Amino acid sequence: MNDQNKLPVAGLLALAMTGFIAIMTETLPAGLLSQIGEDLGVSSAMAGQWVTAYAMGSLLAAIPLTLATRGWARRKALLTAVIGFLLFNTLSAFCKDYPLTLVARFFAGASAGLAWGLIAGYARRMVVPALQGRAMTLAMIGTPIALSLGVPVGTWFGMLVGWRSVFAIISLLTLLLIVWILLKVPNFPGEARQKSLSLSRVWQLPGIRAILWVIFAWITAHNILFTYIVPFLAIYGLTDQADRILLIFGISALLGIALTGWLVDRWLRTTVLASLLLFALVTLALGLFTASAVVLYCAMCIWGLTFGGAATLLQTASADAAGESTDVAQSMVVVAWNLAIAAGGITGGLLLEQQGAISFPWAMLLLLFSGLLVVFMARETGFKPGPRHAESVS
């Protein structure tokens, strides 16, 4: 790039759009399960396996695909992932055979696994080290936008025109994204074979394992509550306000990612600690004050604020620790993140069935305190104090 002292906004927003499409593809079926099931002639529970198939694709393919493509030119690898979204979402939109749609969902998830392994490293290489945190913030903004605005709007639109039309629209957006990437995203060479570290060597790098545990603990705690937010709201008698409460969470998450963009390069460690501590305090309040709607609404605001920047903070820490092996480390992040989503869903379901939703905050607190402890212990590696001193981009 000619001037790396400025953020290449158009290119970074193309990466953000990639993340937006990945999240929309993953989460949109949850709001349209009854429609999908009726259309394909299966139950809503069977239609729900669309979400499972996608998650399994991301989980199983992230590391192998990242390793297989790390010698490729970066734009070629990114386009491969995006074209995967185009092909498999289009297949989902027009296919009437349920087993074949599951295959399409699996490979759409695999495309997402590759995409998430690329975005962070790509964003960092587009700017000078001093701007890497802000570049990643912009590249990651597609996720909270998709969760807070895209999914609710997509669900509403799907109810009006049908779920197949929504997936077709996502495919059209993906087609536009391919052109956008070709025009605005710079190309970079892949890793030279002699410079590439093996998966086991990256796993052993100082700080990597600590970061992966913090990801798992934080995201599992988040998903215990987020996945089962409606049963939890029943404790407060506010299930009829779920859409409003989730909108508040989403808007707060957008503010959180904006705030993180300002903080991440100067105070990454402090911001991670503050986010985890505030989330823990909010969780404690939810456990203690189960009759106060005011506490709940305030908790949703703070929870969203602390969670909005989580992806930027944790992926920045991972990329800093991995150095030139960022893409391999990011594939590990994808696996840890998806394991945490699954663990949150399973743990929350078991707690809901055996102890009730009232038990959620106490399980979440255990996870959050373990994350806080690991961040405190990883002062020398993983979560270093002071301004970031990232490696020079190649």
pLDDT in tens, 82-118: 999 999 999 999 999 999 999 999 999 999 999 988 9
Whose CA is closest to 134, among 13, 7, 256? 7
Query: Is residue 393 scored above 60 in pLDDT?
Result: no
Contact in structure between 342 and 55 (CB atoms under 8 Å): yes
Q: What is the pLDDT of residues 108-159, one digit of tens each?
A: 999 999 998 899 889 988 998 888 878 888 888 887 788 767 767 787 888 8
Q: How many CB atoms lie within 10 A of CB 291?
A: 9
**Of all helices (H) and strands (E), which one includes residue 179?**
helix 163-184
pLDDT band of residue 1 (cuts 50, 70, 90) is very low
Residue 278 has pLDDT above 60, yes or no: yes
Q: Tell me: the pLDDT tens digits for 301-329?
A: 999 999 988 988 998 898 888 877 777 88
- pLDDT score, position 283: 96
Q: Mean pLDDT across the stretch 40-65?
A: 84
Under a CB-based contact definition with an 8 Å cutoff, are residues 286 and 295 in contact? yes
Cα(134)–Cα(262) distance, integer angstroms? 7
pLDDT at 195: 56
Q: What is the pLDDT of residue 217?
A: 96
What the block records as the tokens of 239 is 């299930």
Where does the pLDDT of residue 3 fall: very low under 50, low under 70, confident under 90, or very high at 90 and above? Answer: low
| pLDDT grade for 2, boundaries at 50, 70 and 90 | very low
Dump pLDDT digits (tens) for 5-18.
788 999 999 999 99
Domains and CATH numbers, the chain: 9-195 (1.20.1250.20), 199-377 (1.20.1250.20)
Q: What is the pLDDT of residue 70?
A: 83
Residue 17 tokens, joined: 């759009």
Measured CA to CA in angstroms, residue 13 lies from 19, 81, 174, 316 at distances of 10, 16, 14, 17
How high does pLDDT run on average in the chain? 87
Portion of the chain with pLDDT greater than 90, in percent: 42
Q: How many CB atoms sit inside 10 A of residue 5's CB?
A: 9
Residues 324/330/336/340 CA torsion (nearest 10 deg): 140
Find the mean pLDDT for residues 203-211: 89
Segment 324-379, tens digit of pLDDT? 777 788 888 888 988 888 788 788 888 888 898 899 999 999 999 999 999 999 88
Of 175 and 145, more confident: 175
Q: How far lies 374's CA from each of 204, 250, 382, in Å?
A: 16, 28, 10
* pLDDT (0 to 100) of residue 391: 43
Sign of the C-alpha dihedral computed for residues 353, 355, 359 and 365 taken in this order:
negative
| Residue 96: Cβ-neighbour burial (10 angstroms; 0-12, 13-18, 19+) | exposed
For the ranges 57-66, 123-132, 170-179, the maximum mean pLDDT occurs at 170-179
Choice among 53-62, 158-167, 237-246 with the minimum mean pLDDT: 237-246
pLDDT digits (tens, 9 = 90+) for 244-259: 787 788 888 888 988 9
